Amino acid sequence: MKRIDRKRGDVFLRADFKDLGGYDQVGRALRGLVKKGKLMKIGQGLYTRAVPSPFDGTPTPVKGLYSLTAEALSRLGVESAPTQFEKAYNAGKTTQVPAGRVIATRKRVRRKIGYKGVFMSFERA
């Protein structure tokens, strides 16, 4: 928990903790933090900070899914860009506001990033 508190970002990779122990040991520690509600798993080897929801007390991430995905992709070395819908909206070609469930990337992404059954989609930039 001390290392998580010192980190600036809100997305953590499993590899961030590999110097603390073996692969299985780090996995057990992260699962324990997920059970306690301190972290949430948002993908394979991807975790984020969690706070209790003011409505029902269940763990919720500190940021929205779009910003968490963008941060996770940058941590994984994948560059993101605006989607076609965002470009059209910003250029004034449409009045339909982009939903925010799609993120454009320069490389192919095969990961599922999301939580509670809601996942981001990726398009080629």
Average pLDDT over residues 73-92: 93
Q: Which residues pair with 119 in a beta bridge?
A: 114
Q: pTM for the full model?
A: 0.87
Closest to 50 (Cα-Cα) out of 18, 16, 11:
11
> What's residue 88's pLDDT?
93
> What's residue 71's pLDDT?
94
pLDDT-based confidence at residue 100 (cuts at 50, 70, 90): confident
Structurally, the chain folds into a number of domains equal to 1
Closest to 42 (Cα-Cα) out of 119, 104, 107:
119
pLDDT 10s digits, 5-39 = 998 999 999 999 999 999 999 999 999 999 999 99
In this model, does residue 1 exceed pLDDT 90?
A: no
Average pLDDT over residues 92-117: 91
In DSSP notation, 39-108 reads: EEEEETTEEEEEEE-TTT--EEESS-HHHHHHHHHHHHT--EE--HHHHHHHHTS--PPP-S-EEEESS-
What is the domain range of residue 38?
Answer: 2-124
Measured CA to CA, the distance from residue 10 to residue 20 in angstroms comes to 19
In this model, does residue 55 exceed pLDDT 90?
A: yes
Distance, C-alpha 58 to centroid of its chain: 18
Q: Do you know the residue count of the chain?
A: 125
Burial classification of residue 79, based on how many CB atoms lie within 10 Å of its CB (0-12 exposed, 13-18 middle, 19 or more buried) = exposed
> What's residue 34's pLDDT?
95
Rounded percentage of the chain residues whose pLDDT exceeds 90: 87
